[in-house]
A = this chain, B = another copy of it.
């Protein structure tokens, strides 16, 4: 109801603010018997962590995940799994103008209108730091999905208008942009460098692919698999658009071009993105997210203060130039959570009670 939970059976509830004591999540509905230890979280948390590249701020959180409950004798017990991530790099620096001025493109203004206050310490609950808890939950979801043969791979498709032309999975984790085309990476890094020097920022497009997804996941009508994925992806802060399979291009195709022929060896094409009528068809899932440029920029911007008076905001400090690469592991996590949940949902109902 208040928006901090996601999922029906594999249900996560996240909590915490960017500058509070800690953030984390409770997963209620994680099956018992899954081997899990703190070390399992390191790789994914590291990929989401800021401060690793020239286009990112150097805040060096370690983002260690502590398992507070739900694991006994090294396996999950079926009781709530609590994951805690401390906030180590919280300085009590002066917030200055940020206490009064709403940052354009951020949630300061809308939180103030909704709750009567806003957390001027980096956005509080609305900060991108919240996604650390999502990534931690995604690790658990992926450990559940792995023995089923389901794997999830995200990559950066486009930054600042420069689009990848190749899809080479082997290079994705070898460049800071998580892009599958090393040629495109060069162009993207130049564009980031130029934008950063101007005190500006860039957006882009990320893609997530799912291999090994069984047919039958997703529920009819409202909880279609693509509808749930769209919600999951759009709930990530900077995302402004989502598409599945051919997506917006499908709007310009004819039926005879867009329909994926079915053969005894499988589907001959995958414009559907692996989903028909909201239910997975056994092919790979394909979805993309449009990510807006980071709203924190160094250029002066028009805004208002808490009393509605016109003002000019001039941010100081350093900011990330793009969020695309850091969002890639978040999208992977959200897709994993949706699939874990729908796998359990499908199992619940698809039983044979016939004579």
Contact = CB atoms under 8 A, between A and B. Distances in A.
Contacts of A255: 105, 200-202, 293-297
A154 interface: no
A51 interface: no
Contacts of A1: 1, 8-9, 11, 28-29, 219, 345, 348-349
Interface string A62-106: 000010111011010111111000000000000000000010111
A289 to B, nearest CB: 9
A137 to B, nearest CB: 11
A172 B268 CA distance: 39
Interface string A33-76: 11100000000000000000000000000000010111011010
Contacts of A216: 110, 113-114
Given A78-B349, A290-B251, A72 B221 contact: no
A261 interface: yes
Nearest to A233: B230
A166 interface: no
A114 B347 contact: no
A169 interface: no
Contact of A241 (B115, B221, B244, B292): B244
Interface in A225-256: 226-235, 237, 240-248, 250-256
A212 to B, nearest CB: 15
A237 B116 CA distance: 39
A119 interface: yes
A223 interface: yes
Select the residue from A29, A72, A254 with max chain B CB neighbours within 10 A.
Answer: A254
Nearest to A195: B254
Given A114-B350, A115-B350, A242-B243, 12 more contacts: A2-B9, A4-B80, A5-B28, A75-B354, A158-B251, A160-B252, A161-B252, A203-B250, A205-B251, A235-B278, A240-B244, A240-B245
28 contacts: A3-B221, A3-B223, A4-B79, A9-B348, A17-B69, A17-B79, A20-B68, A21-B68, A78-B350, A79-B124, A105-B258, A110-B277, A110-B281, A113-B216, A123-B277, A160-B254, A201-B254, A203-B252, A203-B258, A204-B251, A230-B234, A240-B273, A254-B297, A256-B297, A258-B292, A261-B301, A263-B302, A268-B302
